[in-house]
Amino acid sequence: MNSLINRQAMHGYLYIHGTSSHPAARVALATNRTYVLHPLPSSTAQITSLRQQTQLVPSPVTRTGTCRPMAAAAAAAAVAVLVVAALAATLAAAGDDDPRAACARRPVVFAFGDSNTDTGGVAAGMGYYYPLPEGRAFFRRATGRLCDGRLVIDYLCESLNMSYLSPYLEALGSDFTGGANFAISGSATLPRSAPFSLHVQVQQFLHFKQRSFELVAHGGSAPVDADGFRNALYLIDIGQNDLSAAFGSGAPYDDIVHLKIPAFIPEIKDAIMTLYYNGAKNFWVHGTGPLGCLPQKLAAPRADDGDLDSSGCLKTLNNGAYEFNNKLCAACDELRSQLRGATIVYTDVLLVKYDLVANHSAYGFEEPLMACCGYGGPPYNYNANVSCLGPGFRVCEDGARFVSWDGVHYTDAANAVVAAKILSGEFSTPKLPFDYFCKA
């Protein structure tokens, strides 16, 4: 792919401009000028030099406890724009047979979670139909995703140069050779027996694996073989619905932190352990995002703006998300020491997404807290009675200017940036590349 480097510093930020339709261009920090590839910094000195050129709004939620010391979190936020710019080159290379994107073996990914990862599971399982404008920015058709285009998981698959994950529940047209997606919109960790909780999703995976082995044992073929299951990456991204319901219940903050969250985390630990004892060894676990920055939460009636932080987000909800993530990170640390031979990577999605809101203009976004698709107009364009696709809804002309698609889920453009920051490894513990599982 031909590329042109056009780097420009302005207003204290480092910009890389672009208009290409290539996935890498979607990660560009500004979206209306000539795009180009910026090489990854190859040394600590280069990174230090780049960091000195860049100043970002510090995140008030970077206090991530023992899992990520404050200094490390602040440093990660300070170099975030540069990392995303550099990762644009990596995503571009993934489509051009670059050796950096080549896995030593075929990548296989199994995903578990909620609507942030659901690529059509709830549509297949419940018979729901999400017409345009859902999917308009990329697929240009209904796909069952609650987004105008790709989700973070889609961009992560692109980085591996593999096909998008098919929903496990989709009976027609599915391709499970690269894994399967068990994530279902609306899912939570509790209650564990409810469709489609994390526990149920793991049980569905075990059924999928057992049936695969049965097919092979009877002389047939299966999309994933024993080596595929053993070396696959198991990605878990869940908890937002649990936390949302907890705050929506009206429970005191202390009860949420000390009673409810401690009940959610064991479910994620149990899922990891169940998968591990059934042969899994590579795990990628996402923390939850900044709940207090969602237009859905911001549009709810409040007595005053005393709970809003400098970015316009609700501090109480974001502090709850921080507590959830800190406990989840600690659980991953514990499992890392217990499960021999397992690699468990925890990624601080709260820091990733909050930085996107706090420094939205640095990434080329104009509306960090207003939904593109919804009802009610500024400041949040969200109405609980008229959701996106609901009677009388309104949709913006250019979703690439918005961080939020429908008040709860992110736009294709925002997901591109989030994915690039995840791929940087700067927000993960331990700091491993996303493709580590298919290169060893």
Torsion sign over Cα 302, 307, 308, 313:
negative
Among 208, 207, 311, 290, CA closest to 243: 290
Among 222, 190, 157, CA closest to 145: 157
Among 283, 292, 344, CA closest to 323: 292
Q: Which of 348, 406, 412, 435 is catalytic?
A: 406
Is 115 catalytic? The answer is yes
Q: Is the Cβ–Cβ distance between 236 and 280 less than 8 Å?
A: no
Cα–Cα distances in angstroms (integers) from residue 249 to residues 189, 241, 245, 256, 258, in the given order: 16, 12, 6, 10, 15
C-alpha to C-alpha distance for 301 and 286, rounded to whole angstroms: 30
Q: Are strands 428-429 and 282-286 parallel, antiparallel or unpaired?
A: unpaired
Q: Which of 115, 187, 387, 404 is catalytic?
A: 115
Is 11 catalytic? The answer is no
Q: Which of 22, 59, 409, 428 is catalytic?
A: 409
C-alpha to C-alpha distance for 204 and 210, rounded to whole angstroms: 10
Distance from the first to the final alpha carbon of the chain: 28
C-alpha to C-alpha distance for 235 and 367, rounded to whole angstroms: 30
Contacts of 104 (CB under 8 A, 6+ apart): 438, 439, 440
Is 409 catalytic? The answer is yes
Helix then strand count (H, E) for the chain reads 15, 12
Q: What are the residue numbers of the active site?
A: 115, 406, 409
